[in-house]
Each structure stands twice: as structure tokens, then as C-alpha cells.
Chain A
């Protein structure tokens, strides 16, 4: 189990100013506020502005959330609608 003090590092790839992008950003913010207060860090990458990064990182569907820390690295595609599966993936299950 992930110790409580461990810091979470996310990278969220979005594609411009779309409905999906906005949903993903707000859903992630809610999740962090609820479960990872003050111990998460999120970088938002707009693939329209940085297309080379999308190619290099292999991000083809947007929005995509990458959990860089703690290991293992996980990729989640979609608007991050809160679900049991999402929580399990982020290893936040027992705190849900």
C-alpha cells in the first residue's frame, strides 16, 4: 500500500479548449482535492501547442492522464469520470 505521505505526480494531456479537456481538468482537480490534498502535482500538456511531445510520449487519445509517481506508471484515457476502476488504478481504492 502506498504510504500516506507519498507525493503523487500527474501529467495530463489535453487537446485544446474542448469539452473533454475541461471535464478532465475539473475531474482531476476534484479527485486530488478529495484524496490527495496537498500531496499531488499536475502538469497539463496541450497537444495542440506541443504536438511533438504527444508523438514522443505516445499519447494518441486525449485527454490522457499519466501517473508518473508513485510507480508503476499508469495511463488513463478519458475525462476521468470517477469510478471504482479509476481509484483502483491510482491505488487510492481503500480511500475511496
Chain B
């Protein structure tokens, strides 16, 4: 009766493992009150998974747990786990109990045996501490001591029944060769896989010298789950399972706020800069100033006082700082006051997944608001080709959910054709990026000049122009380029063209001035002429007036003279009478 009741009660229940990503895959955790088999090869992380499950239960779920160690001594397990941020010692006092059940080498075996002893002991311990979780680590060690398959099946059954009866969530780990193609029934402990309610497989492969860990839920009775293999890494907090999408995507705030790219004219080309929280991709061949452009961004972020992280894969952080100094990007003061963090990722070894986890951890510790990864294409280096795209995807998802403005550079192979870059970068993250800036070389007349163009920028108006990127000790700037006869002119050609235009302009200027002066002179001459004519006119007018007056007075004079003459002669009286 008791078994029936507890079985029904646990169908929907899940016991959270507290493992990042795993609870999302299983939609909540391991089946509560049921048995889960965790199988994997040596060194695949079975013990750590088990411990983490118990620690989470003891710490966060008020579910004390028992760890039954069949293989390793519990003291050694605790010692091995010192590297993790786990409060094992504190938990061990109350909520976590280790049972050392390693068969001793001097143990003599004679005939059949069963697990009655340990189960009886565990019953007592479970009741005493109210344990709700139990891990049987390396059960295969004990099972392999049993004489035959029938005995093994019997003991597995015994264990299963015991777990159900005591209503504890069981996790059994076993070393199983997980070669694909072997039917589970033919595997040494295949029967376990049929019996348990949930089966999880850990894989640890080496692909081109790079270790790739992955976890896969094989079955989960009564629950939906993500059936795909998910990569994981073992970090400072234990397991970190990568999942393609977060359960609640888009919790990062979408904003219209802009941040400067660090280059004024580039901001203008983008219609005001990058969006805050956007993912920017800068692609280019080697030496096209990708690092410089991202360095300019980092500097501008620090100048606003935003915490910034610069992850450099190619060169050491100090080298990057020194090199950027030559183009007047001063990172040293920001580095000193702690605003900027340089991460030399060359010394982080491991798979792309490991790198991502490391970057996430450092970024979180630094409380990063702006992140530069130079170059992100390193993720796809040998051995990581298969996972790199998913890792880059998760990187962008993560940055978005944290509202971190992300600038990634991506190296293009110089031998790859121009058409290839338009199809996508090696990681094919160009489709995920919000803004994609492409840098390239234009080689002409014995010169190699850098060109910058914006391939896409979601949600912002952007220039269609190719600009020349100029690096000098005065800083980074963009220059217009000349298009002449269908050719784009850059570098010296541009300079020559500019000079020619300047000279032409000067000639035109001088010519204009000359013309003006001569016109002024002509005007002055005309003015003078006009003045002299006017004066002449006045003279003529005076002359004319004088002439008239003279004529009149002459006439008067003539008549006056005659009268006077008559008077003087006294002879012409008739004349007088006639008057």
C-alpha cells in the first residue's frame, strides 16, 4: 500500500539537481522518489554529478542525502572536491552522509551474497537523518563481484524495491562503455537501464585532441525532456551543461539607447552608434585593424565608466594594450583603475565550451557591461568545428540576456574568396549578429589600404559607403574615398587626387580674383569717363547759356545804340514821332 501511494505521488515530481542547464533539459530535475541511472566511461564526471545532486538537495531543497561510495574512499572524494566551491565539510555534519562501502582487496569471497547488509544499514541511516536523496556511486564495482547475471538482476531489483519503499530519490552511477551501436541489453549492466525510470549518459570524447564532454538523457519515464546531446564542462561550481536556448529567452531589456563605436565617423555611418546590448561582429582578414576597432570601442566604454572586458585570444593582454597605444587608444589608465579587464585567453585550454564557461565566469565576476572578444573565430579552431557554432550562439544569447554589449571580431581566411565572406563567417554567426562590419584590403597601384563597410545593422540606418580606415598616431578615423571611373581610390591615390583637386581649386580661386580685379579697373575707368563727360556737359551747358545771353544783349545793344546815335544826331525825329 505504501509503495502504491508513493508511486502515484511522485509521477509529476522532480528533484532539482541544481546543475545549470540539466534541470532545463529534464524540465525540473531527476524523477522524485524514483531511480536514475547515470552511466559513462571513466573520468566522465559521474561522481561529481552525484555529489552535486546531493549538495543541492541538502543546501537548497532541505533534502538530506547519503552518498554510498563503492569505488573511492569518501575521504578522498571530499579531498578531491576541495577544488569546487562546495561547503562539503559544513554539510557533512548534518545533511550529507558518506558511506564507505568499498569492497576491501583482502576481502575473500566464497559463494553467493546479496546487498541486504548495506540496505539494512541504509534503512536505519535514512530514517535517522530523514534522507530524501541517495547516490550509489560505482555500483558496477559491487555488481561485478556477483557470480552471474541472474544474481546481478536480483540485486538490482532488490535495490530498486528498496528505493521505492523508502521513497528516496536514487541515483546509481555505473561505468558503462557507451560505444554507440552496442545494444543496451548486451552491455554488462544493461539490465539496469531497463529497470530505472530515468537514464542519463555522460560522454567524454576526444576530437582532434580536444576533450569534448556531453550529457544526454536517454529516457525519462513520464516526462518530456530534451533528447539531444548537450555539451557540458566541469567548472568551479561543478557541472555546467550548455543548452542552446534559455528556458526564458529575451529577459534582457531591449533598448533604443546607443553606445559609441569609439570612432566618430563610424557612429555617423551607423546613424548614431551601436545599440546597447547588441552583438556586433567585425570580420576581416588578418591585419585589417579588427583589434584596433574593437580597442577603440573598449576605450570609449571605459571613458563612460562602464565595466569592460577585453578577451584576447591572439596576443597577450599587455601586448594588446601596448599595440593600441600606437594609435592613441589609451587603455592603461582604465586597466589601472579596474574598469577594464584584459583576459589573455590563450592560456585557457580546452574545448570551445570550456572557453565559454570561463569567459562567462570572468565576465560575471567583473560585472561586465561591454565585452570584446578578439577573435571569436578561435572557438572554431581544430577539434571544435562541430560545437563552435552552438557555442557562439550561446555566447550571443547569454550576452543578450545579460544586456551586455558584445563586440566580436572574426578572422577570415585570406585565401578564402571574397564571395565566401558574403555567405558567412567561419562560425556562421553573421546571421546572429545585429551589426556586421566588414574590413578588407584594397590592393591597387602597389598599395594595401583598409576599407570599412557596414554589411548590415539591424534597426539602424546605415551608410552604404565604403570608407577608408586610417590608423595614425593621432587615432583612428575614417576618410571618404574617391570613386573615379568605377575605381575606388584609397591611400596615396586618394591623396594625389585630393592634391590635384586642391591645386585646381587654388587656380580657380586665383583666376576669380584676377577677373574681379580687372573688372574693378574697368569699372573705375568707366566711372572716371562718366565723370569727365558730365563735367564736359556742364561746360557746354554753361557755354550755351552764355551764348544765348550774349546774343540777347547784343540785340538790345544794337537797338540801344541806334537810338543813342539818333539822339546824338538829332535828325531822325520822324523816327521819334513814329515811336
Chain A residue numbers with a CB within 8 Å of B109 are: 76-78
> What is the interface of chain B, defined by CB distance below 8 A to chain A?
99-101, 103-104, 106-121, 123-125, 142, 145
- B114 contacts A20, CB within 8 Å? yes
Task: Say yes or no: is A75 at the interface (Cβ < 8 Å to chain B).
Answer: yes
The reply on A80 being an interface residue by CB < 8 A is yes
User: Known interface pairs A51-B124, A54-B118, A55-B124. Does A61 touch B113 (Cβ–Cβ under 8 Å)?
Assistant: yes
- How many CB-defined contacts (below 8 Å) exist between A and B? 104
Interface size class of A (residues with CB under 8 A): 20 to 34
How far apart are the CA atoms of A35 and B114 in the complex, in Å?
A: 27
A33-54 interface with B by 8 A CB criterion: 47-48, 51-52, 54
Chain B residue nearest to A59 (CB atoms) is B117
* A-side contacts of B104, CB under 8 Å: 75
Nearest CB on B from A78, distance (A): 4
The answer to whether B115 touches A52 (Cβ under 8 A) is: no
Dominant SS among interface residues on chain B? mixed
| Complexed CA–CA distance, A23 and B111 (Å) | 10
Q: Tell me, yes or no, whether A58 is within 8 Å of chain B by CB.
A: yes
- Sample of 18 further A-B pairs with CB below 8 A, known A55-B99, A62-B114, A77-B145: A15-B117, A47-B116, A47-B117, A51-B125, A52-B121, A54-B121, A59-B117, A60-B121, A60-B142, A61-B103, A62-B115, A76-B108, A77-B103, A78-B112, A79-B111, A79-B112, A85-B110, A86-B108
B116 near A77 (CB under 8 angstroms)? no
> Which 9 pairs, one residue from A and one from B, show the smallest C-beta to C-beta distance?
A15-B116, A79-B111, A51-B124, A78-B111, A60-B118, A55-B121, A81-B111, A47-B120, A62-B117
Q: How far is the CA of A48 from the CA of B110 in the complex (A)?
A: 22
Partner of B112, one of A23, A47, A89: A23
Give the residues from 65 to 96 in chain A that come closer than 8 angstroms, CB to CB, to chain B: 74-81, 83, 85-86, 89
User: Which residue in B108, B117, B123 is a CB contact (below 8 Å) of A60?
Assistant: B117
Q: A residues within 8 A CB of B99?
A: 55, 60
Name the distance in Å between B385's Cβ and chain A's nearest Cβ. Answer: 47
A77→B108 contact, CB < 8 A:
yes
User: 12 A-B pairs, CB-CB below 8 angstroms?
Assistant: A15-B114, A23-B111, A47-B120, A54-B121, A61-B103, A62-B113, A62-B114, A74-B106, A74-B108, A76-B110, A79-B111, A80-B111
